[in-house]
Amino acid sequence: MEINQNIIVALAAIVGENNVFTDEATRIDYGHDETEDYNFPPHVVVKPGTTEEISEIMKLANKHKLPVVPIGGRTGLSGGALSISGGIGLSMERFAKILDIDTQNLQVTTEPGVITQVLKEAVAEHGLFYPVDPSSMGSCFIGGNIAENSGGARAVKYGVTKDYVLNLEVVLPTGEIIWTGANTLKNSTGYNLTQLMVGSEGTLGVVTKIVLKLLPQNSHNVLMLVPFYKAEQACEAVSAVFRAGIVPSALEFMERDALEWTMRFVEGVSVPLKDNIQAHLLIEVDGNYPDVLFQEAEKIMSVVEAFEIDEVLFADTDDQKNALWKMRRAVGEAVKSNSIYKEEDTVVPRYELPTLLKGVKDIGNKYGFQSVCYGHAGDGNLHINIVKGEMSDENWETEVPKGIVEIFELTVRLKGTLSGEHGIGYVQKNFMPLAFDVTQLNLMKGIKQLFDPNNILNPGKILPDNL
């Protein structure tokens, strides 16, 4: 059914007239996230303020079979927040309150529209640490992190979003309000609805409250940038660090191109970059005891020195550290600002990284595309940016998709999978049969039908079209 004036009036009765938007500018504004250059505007943008309002919206949408798409910070990279069937765009921006920083239990209860970095800083003021730090943390919502099971640089030591979610308040697609679990560190009480919700990309329910586990904050860290003459050796060094018994708090890989583009397109970031350097590893260790960190840094040095490396840069001051991290976090934006692109979020067991990297370059040569690779190497998570550059539109449309299929086939052959932290959303859904056969996909489809019998909540995401 179309969104007609009666629906608009009904929505306004739920959330108030001021929170319903049908003008084109607003609809277009809420029609995109950071996925390529897509824009799918919803027919109407609604900004609810309470869980109960969302429940009423879902009941209305079920009655009239209207699509509802939850929208967070619009930083997603798989099109999870795109209103591909129009309908109601459900912006969560008014759910912006941190409800309780519980210093006794090391937990925080928050609404989903809080920006991740705001949440991190708020708990840090109490000496507490929420480790998950996607590169977009300055603008993404914590609710979007739940939806995509976001990672980031510190996942290698501290885990991803799913490892911190204890309990969720959720409005089901049918309008009921539930809590998925309990506010406890351990839970063996029925099927794990919490973990089913995390990473479900806004297709199984609308998260309205989030209880997260926190850690005591570490006081110190050591950050080093290691230049490698050969990119594959940089990848090899990654698993060597772990095999030496060290668990770094970050272990990031950047191809030469990634750094060059970043220095060209982002102001105020710069590192020495000799001609014959192919890649860098950015390695951090953290803890409370500086002496220990220096010992660990030395151990890491002895590991990386077994490869062909240039002079290692140690960040001596907070300013230097911030500059290196600013650079690392800007890579994605820089690569994307320069060309039409497609980004793949491949992940493999970390020892397979060199094979993956080499394979990606070979596939690029075969199909005539350039790729810029970087990512969370400690997790085996390689972001592959395929850039259009001078490529013809025709080749971009025909050859690149073949190459992407081969990249994913390689990933799966290496016991990896399609997405490490960005989700499947809209742009990767038709690649799902490369990772799963029809049995698993039908289980997922059955789960979707169980939660959302009318297929109104974020329809057309995750599962392939022809399932």
Candidates 131-139, 155-163, 328-336, 394-402 — which segment interacts with its own copies by CB under 8 A? 155-163
Q: Is 239 in the site for its own copies (CB under 8 A)?
A: yes
Candidates 63-71, 251-259, 354-362, 418-426 — which segment interacts with its own copies by CB under 8 A? 418-426
217 CB-side CA count, 13 A:
14
Whole-number minimum distance, CB 434 to its own copies, in Å? Answer: 10
Candidates 7-15, 21-29, 395-403, 417-425 — which segment interacts with its own copies by CB under 8 A? 417-425
Q: Which positions from 345 to 374 touch its own copies by CB under 8 A, shown as an x/- string? A: x-xxxxxx----------------------
Q: Is 185 in the site for its own copies (CB under 8 A)?
A: yes
Report d(CA 145, CA 421) in Å as an integer.
9
Q: How far apart are the first and last CA of the chain?
A: 23
Q: Is 422 in the site for its own copies (CB under 8 A)?
A: yes
Candidates 29-37, 40-48, 197-205, 305-313 — which segment interacts with its own copies by CB under 8 A? 197-205
Q: Is 196 in the site for its own copies (CB under 8 A)?
A: yes
Q: Is 90 in the site for its own copies (CB under 8 A)?
A: no
Distances (CA, A) of 306 to 178, 274, 277, 299, 303: 54, 20, 16, 12, 6
Residues 6-35 that bind its own copies (CB under 8 A): none
Q: How many residues line the site for its own copies (CB under 8 A)?
A: 95
Report d(CA 43, CA 21) in Å as an integer.
9
Q: Is 290 in the site for its own copies (CB under 8 A)?
A: no
Give the residue, chosen from 9, 247, 273, 306, that forms a contact with its own copies under the rule CB under 8 A: 247
Give the residue, chosen from 9, 182, 273, 306, that forms a contact with its own copies under the rule CB under 8 A: 182
Q: Is 124 in the site for its own copies (CB under 8 A)?
A: no
Give the residue, chosen from 243, 274, 326, 366, that forms a contact with its own copies under the rule CB under 8 A: 243
Give the residue, chosen from 36, 52, 102, 333, that forms a contact with its own copies under the rule CB under 8 A: 102
**Which residue lies nearer to its own copies by CB, 86 or 199?**
199
Q: Is 184 in the site for its own copies (CB under 8 A)?
A: yes
CA-closest candidate to residue 67, choices 95, 33, 90? 90
Candidates 87-95, 111-119, 190-198, 261-269 — which segment interacts with its own copies by CB under 8 A? 190-198
Count the Cβ atoms, other than its own, within 10 Å of residue 283: 29
Report d(CA 407, CA 360) in Å as an integer.
6
Whole-number minimum distance, CB 5 to its own copies, in Å? Answer: 33
Give the residue, chosen from 22, 85, 195, 370, that forms a contact with its own copies under the rule CB under 8 A: 195
**Which residue lies nearer to its own copies by CB, 165 or 372?**
165
Q: Is 302 in the site for its own copies (CB under 8 A)?
A: no
Residues 306-345 that bind its own copies (CB under 8 A): 345
Q: Which positions from 425 to 464 touch its own copies by CB under 8 A, shown as an x/- string? A: -------x--xxx-xxx-xx-xxx-xx----------xx-
Candidates 45-53, 81-89, 241-249, 323-331 — which segment interacts with its own copies by CB under 8 A? 241-249
**Which residue lies nearer to its own copies by CB, 132 or 309?**
132
- The encoded tokens of residue 256 equal 């030469």
**Which residue lies nearer to its own copies by CB, 340 or 447?**
447
Report d(CA 166, CA 186) in Å as an integer.
9
215 touches 163 (CB < 8 A)? no
Q: Is 144 in the site for its own copies (CB under 8 A)?
A: no
173 touches 452 (CB < 8 A)? yes
Whole-number minimum distance, CB 300 to its own copies, in Å? Answer: 13
**Which residue lies nearer to its own copies by CB, 270 or 295?**
295
Give the residue, chosen from 419, 427, 456, 460, that forms a contact with its own copies under the rule CB under 8 A: 419
**Which residue lies nearer to its own copies by CB, 84 or 391?**
84
Determine the distance from the C-alpha atom of residue 402 to the mean position of all C-alpha atoms in its chain, rounded to a whole number. Answer: 24
